[in-house]
Amino acid sequence: MAKVATSIDWQAVRKTRHLKRKMKPPKISKAVKYGLAFFNGVFWILSLLLIVAGYYSITSADTAAIKTTNVFALVLNISVLLLLIGVVMFVISLAGILGTLRENLPLLQFYRACIVLFLGLEFCLMIFCFSFGSYISGVVNRDLPQNTVATYRDDANMQNLLDFLQRHFHCCGVSVAGYLDWSANAYFNCSPSNPSVERCSVPWSCCLHPDNTPIRDTTCGRGVQKLTAVAANEKVHTDGCVSAVVSSIEEHGHIVGASCIAVGFAQGAALYQATRISVLLERMSQKKRKAVKEAPLFSVARLVLLVGLLTGSQSAAEEPDEEEGGKRRKRKRRNDEDGDDKRAKKRRKKDERDRRQNAKGRNVLEQGDVASAEDESDGSSSSSDSDS
């Protein structure tokens, strides 16, 4: 038997697959959904810790009242900074979690807008630092000592921060003046009218302490501001902390660069995943709106709902039930008719089968009668021959 050669229209097959994919409703991947929720959950927990730390720092007994003489001083307040960063992170991460898990499009759009805003601010800040480095340096040298060194004894958080920087970066003071910045503090001021015991001194964290010394001399900075830079360099660190921090960043530039790239990549990945989910939600909402628009304007169901909303009567609510009941009765009647047709077909088939069997039986009987008649005729002919 010869095989029939068939050719497959691959273009039609591809077109059919494309139509199936197009007709298939969009679906959000669970991996993308729960991955983005977990990412925001980590930052949400971190934001809670920052809020608690900032609130405790503000309400602690050894913290002075917040001084808002200028914006620079408010930003440099560690308690306010921790609280502000924590609140912002809390709001944004919570919007990301709820928008992802609940598939809420407005929350996801707010989350995307916040990420885009932060990426833009980071990019602008980077350009500003590279373009106006000299201006920033002048502002730091002029204003930073008055807002940090001057509050050393009044703000416990600022005191801990400056001690940490001076110990770990081996510096003293803030600006290029170095250890002489401490004259901006009322307790360390070197003027003759200063009655403080620490006049012309620097904090103990500026001293050249050996790393293996378990006990630190807290009076090692007494009278250092009266010395020259060469003489003071034998007792304390003389460079400012801003230049020391910048030098440390330049020395560990690969680590700082990798950290910045990692943070930018994490923000970009979160933005990409949030955008994917938002696009899918927009498509789903568009399909729903399209289905509503394509529905007949004066359909029975819509008319019944409209009458029920306008009149508030119970008859409008009962009409859909009556309509459904009528549909069910029609469906049952149709099924009964189909069942009757099937039973009638079976009955006709059975009658036809019986008729055929009866006809076959009659044929057999007729054939038997013919055969017996032929036998009788043969017997009579043979008897007549014998008589003759």
- Mean pLDDT is highest, among 147-151, 239-243, 326-330, for 239-243
Q: Tell me, what's the pLDDT at 316?
A: 40
For 87-136, the DSSP string reads HHHHHHHHHHHHHHHTT-HHHHHHHHHHHHHHHHHHHHHHHHHHHSHHHH
| Cα 264–chain centre separation | 16
Residues 354-360: what's their mean pLDDT?
78
**Residue 154 pLDDT more than 90?**
no
Asked if 249 and 18 touch (Cβ cutoff 8 Å), the reply is no
3-state DSSP call for residue 297? coil
Q: Tell me, what's the pLDDT at 143?
A: 73
Q: Tell me, what's the pLDDT at 113?
A: 92
pLDDT digits (tens, 9 = 90+) for 85-133: 899 999 999 999 999 988 888 899 999 999 999 989 888 888 887 787 7
**Residue 385 pLDDT more than 70?**
no
pLDDT digits (tens, 9 = 90+) for 214-253: 667 777 888 888 888 888 888 888 888 888 888 888 888 7
Token pair of 325, please?
């009941």
pLDDT digits (tens, 9 = 90+) for 288-321: 666 555 555 555 555 555 565 556 544 444 445 5
Residues 284-291: what's their mean pLDDT?
70
Instruction: Give the global pTM.
Output: 0.58
Q: Tell me, what's the pLDDT at 87?
A: 92
Secondary structure letter of residue 3 according to DSSP: P
> Any idea which of 73-82, 298-307, 351-360 has the lowest mean pLDDT?
298-307
Residues 187-193: what's their mean pLDDT?
86
Residues 47-54: what's their mean pLDDT?
90
- Higher-pLDDT residue of 82 and 300 is 82
Confidence of residue 4 (pLDDT cuts 50, 70, 90): very low
Which 3-state string (H, E, C) describes 188-248?
CCCCCCCCCCCCCCCCHHHECCCCCCCCCCCCCCCCHHHCCHHHHCCCECCCCHHHHHHHH
3-state DSSP call for residue 308? helix
Residue 103 zone, left/alpha/beta (φ > 0; ψ -120 to 50; rest): left
Asked if 201 and 188 touch (Cβ cutoff 8 Å), the reply is yes
Q: Tell me, what's the pLDDT at 282?
A: 84
Asked if 50 and 86 touch (Cβ cutoff 8 Å), the reply is yes
Q: Tell me, what's the pLDDT at 349?
A: 80
Cβ count near 157 (within 10 Å): 22
**Residue 329 pLDDT more than 90?**
no
pLDDT digits (tens, 9 = 90+) for 9-25: 666 666 666 655 655 55
Asked if 267 and 119 touch (Cβ cutoff 8 Å), the reply is yes
**Residue 70 pLDDT more than 70?**
no
- Higher-pLDDT residue of 312 and 287 is 287
Asked if 240 and 183 touch (Cβ cutoff 8 Å), the reply is no
**Residue 66 pLDDT more than 60?**
no
Q: Mean pLDDT for the chain?
A: 76
Residues 183-192: what's their mean pLDDT?
86
Asked if 184 and 151 touch (Cβ cutoff 8 Å), the reply is no
